Amino acid sequence: MNDSEFAQLTDDAFARLEQGLENADLDFELPADGILEVEFDDGSKLVINRHNVAREIWVAARSGGFHFRHDGDAWKDTRDGAELFAKLAALIESQGGGTVSFG
């Protein structure tokens, strides 16, 4: 995957993330290009960012850090193969953000 393909894939993923978070009425910010922060009522955060060098999406949550690489079809966790949007929905719920869908 080249730089422009990675940029397009991550732009699409971030647009989908923003839409799902807006629909779930969750507080989030875009403090810089390629970074999305979700803030929860207890003050904790979930941070999602694109890592250009590794061509991955990285997630930092209360429960740990996760790296997702596009396999040609979807963004998959490099450790357990979980799909990005399903994993994020579970992380958000476990961190107190309720149910969110990235449909």
As a whole number, the mean pLDDT across the chain is 95
Confidence of residue 2 (pLDDT cuts 50, 70, 90): very high
The CATH number linked to 31 is: 3.30.920.10
Query: In this structure, is residue 88 part of a structural domain?
Result: yes
* Angle value at C-alpha 28, between 24 and 29, nearest 5 degrees: 150
Say if residues 9 and 70 touch (Cβ distance below 8 Å).
yes
- Residue 63 domain-assigned (yes or no): yes
Residue 77, in any domain of the structure: yes
Provide the residue range defining the domain that includes 70: 3-94
In a domain, 103, yes or no: no
pLDDT on residue 3: 92
CA distance 91 to 88: 5
Instruction: Say if 30 falls within a structural domain.
Output: yes
pTM of the model: 0.93
Whether residue 49 is contained in a domain is answered as yes
Nearest to 41 by CA among 100, 95, 99, 101: 95
Residue 91 CA neighbour count, 13 Å, CB half? 24
Residue 50 placed within a domain? yes
